[in-house]
C-alpha cells in the first residue's frame, strides 16, 4: 500500500536553510512562490520546520513562524508557531510539520524570531524549512 499521507515528497526548490538570529533578532528564510493565481491549494501540502539543538540557547524563546501574502515578501502570519524554549542545558532539536490551510496566499516564507537580547547567540545553529507534499 502506498504511503499517500506520509508527506515524503520534497522538491529541492522548496527547501530553505539558514542560521538562527542573534539574541533579540529575526532571520527570514527564502520566500516561496506557490504559483497559484486562482483556487485553493491542495489539502496535502505542508511545511516542516526544524531547528537544530542549540547548547548556547540558555534563556528566552526562539519562535518559528510561517507568513503568507499576495505579494512578496509576505507579512501576514498563518497562525503557525513553534516556540523553542531555552534552558540551562540549551534547547533540543525540534521539528514540526504544519499543513497549509487551503486559503493560503501565493507567497509563503518561514522566519525565526528571538524573544529577547538575553536569549544567547544562536547564530551557529541551523534552521530548515521544507515544503512537503
Tell me, rounded to whole angstroms, the distance of Cα 49 from its chain centroid: 4
The structure's pTM equals 0.78
Average pLDDT over residues 18-27: 88
Q: CA 102 → CA 30, 94, 123, distances in Å?
A: 21, 25, 34
What's the pLDDT score for residue 36? 65
Q: What cell does 54 get?
A: 542549540
Domain architecture of the chain: domains with CATH: 17-132 (2.60.120.1110)
What is the band of 89 on the pLDDT scale with cuts at 50, 70, 90? Answer: confident
Amino acid at each position: 500500500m502506498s504511503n499517500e499521507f506520509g508527506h515524503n515528497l520534497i522538491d529541492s526548490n522548496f527547501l530553505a536553510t539558514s542560521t538562527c538570529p542573534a539574541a533579540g533578532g529575526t532571520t527570514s528564510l527564502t520566500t516561496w512562490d506557490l504559483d497559484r493565481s486562482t483556487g485553493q491549494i491542495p489539502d496535502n501540502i505542508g511545511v516542516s520546520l526544524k531547528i537544530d539543538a542549540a547548547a548556547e540557547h540558555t534563556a528566552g524563546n526562539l519562535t518559528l513562524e510561517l507568513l503568507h501574502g499576495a505579494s512578496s515578501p509576505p507579512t501576514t502570519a498563518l497562525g503557525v508557531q513553534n516556540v523553542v524554549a531555552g534552558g540551562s542545558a540549551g534547547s533540543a532539536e525540534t521539528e514540526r510539520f504544519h499543513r497549509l490551510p487551503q486559503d493560503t496566499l501565493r507567497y509563503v516564507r518561514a522566519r525565526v524570531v528571538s524573544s529577547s537580547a538575553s536569549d544567547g547567540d544562536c547564530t551557529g545553529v541551523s534552521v530548515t524549512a521544507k515544503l512537503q507534499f
